[in-house]
């Protein structure tokens, strides 16, 4: 399990990353407001399309960070959401918002 000191550190990392994204203007759209973006993508030229896609990646990241912070509050941080095994510390160091262990993460990508 993740000890309290590490947990505090991961939390700080997550909060810092979250602030960084928000400083770049990334925010989660209100639920049900996604249709406007689909229209934008359809009419966008390639460069703008790329911008939208970058923003989409950042938004997904923001979502994962929020979920990780929620797991810290819930006391389930560092536990794989699929197999419920502890996530390796090295993985959490690299990706503090990881919600899956390496094995399950690889399965998801396959
Ligand atoms: Zn797993």
CA-CA distance, 51 to 99, in Å (whole number)?
Answer: 26
Q: Which residues pair with 86 in a beta bridge?
A: 79
Distance 79 CA to ligand 1 centre (A): 8
Contacts of 71 (CB under 8 A, 6+ apart): 77, 78, 79, 99
Distance 78 CA to ligand 1 centre (A): 10
Helices (H), strands (E): how many in the chain?
5, 0
Distance 83 CA to ligand 1 centre (A): 4
Contacts of 10 (CB under 8 A, 6+ apart): 2, 68, 72, 77, 78, 92, 96
Which structure tokens are listed for 2? 């993740």
> Taking the mean position of all CA atoms in its chain, how far away is CA 96?
9
What is the reported pTM?
0.75
Q: Contacts by 80-83 with C-beta closer than 8 Å and gap 24+?
A: 80/104, 82/107
State pLDDT tens for residues 72-86: 999 999 999 999 999
Please give the average per-residue pLDDT across 94-102, as a whole number. Answer: 95
For residues 50 and 10, which has the higher predicted lDDT (pLDDT)? 10
CA-CA distance, 106 to 56, in Å (whole number)?
Answer: 22
State pLDDT tens for residues 99-108: 999 999 999 8
Distance 12 CA to ligand 1 centre (A): 24
């Amino acid at each position: 399990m993740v000890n309290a000191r590490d947990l505090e550190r991961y939390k700080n990392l997550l909060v810092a990353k979250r602030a960084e994204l928000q400083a770049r203007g990334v925010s989660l759209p209100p639920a049900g407001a996604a249709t406007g973006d689909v229209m934008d993508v359809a009419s966008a030229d390639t460069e703008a399309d790329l911008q939208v896609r970058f923003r989409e990646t950042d938004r997904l990241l923001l979502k994962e960070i929020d979920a990780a912070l929620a797991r810290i509050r819930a006391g389930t941080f560092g536990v794989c959401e699929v197999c419920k095994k502890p996530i390796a510390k090295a993985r959490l160091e690299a990706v503090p918002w990881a919600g899956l262990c390496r094995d399950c993460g690889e399965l998801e990508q396959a």
